[in-house]
Amino acid sequence: MSGLIEVGLVGEHNFLVEMAHAAAQVGSGPALSQDGALEVLSTPSLIAFMERVSFRMLEARLPDDLTSVGVSVQVSHNAPTLVGEKIRLRAEVSAVEGRRVTLQLQAWDDLELVGDGTHQRAVIDRESFIQRLLVKRER
């Protein structure tokens, strides 16, 4: 991946936490109020946002015949974020080993660090992956 993806590459994106991202909506936590006023960002949604910022950053650097897929995620969800608030996600490439890219992740709301962690993605040949899926679908 030399020249395409380098250690230190950074991607950032802001997301609005919507009711669809709430713990009660995705089934990872309880409803905290009947009117939805106290609903919070779910850990699965936080991870999805982290993966999304990582994917977008790498996709912008890769030629059309390559893409990246997530292979591991280790995340700490450190603080709640209410539905309706914005969060800022940051992904930084910390290692590139062959086709494997390791990223350090952080998420903040307006008050504090919401979560952090490590994510690994594999850079793959898009067409080979599609062919593999087609074979798998036929089984």
Q: Which of 39, 77, 81, 119 is catalytic?
A: 77
Strand partners, 12: 90
Q: Which of 43, 85, 92, 102 is catalytic?
A: 43
Integer Cα distance of 6 and 101 in angstroms: 9
51 catalytically annotated = yes
Integer Cα distance of 83 and 51 in angstroms: 20
21 catalytically annotated = no
Q: Which of 21, 39, 51, 67 is catalytic?
A: 51
Residue 19's alpha-carbon distances to 11, 27, 44, 88, in angstroms, are 25, 12, 13, 17
Closest-CA residue to 4 (of 87, 80, 98): 98
Strand partners, 45: none
Integer Cα distance of 50 and 44 in angstroms: 10
43 catalytically annotated = yes
Active site residues: 43, 51, 77
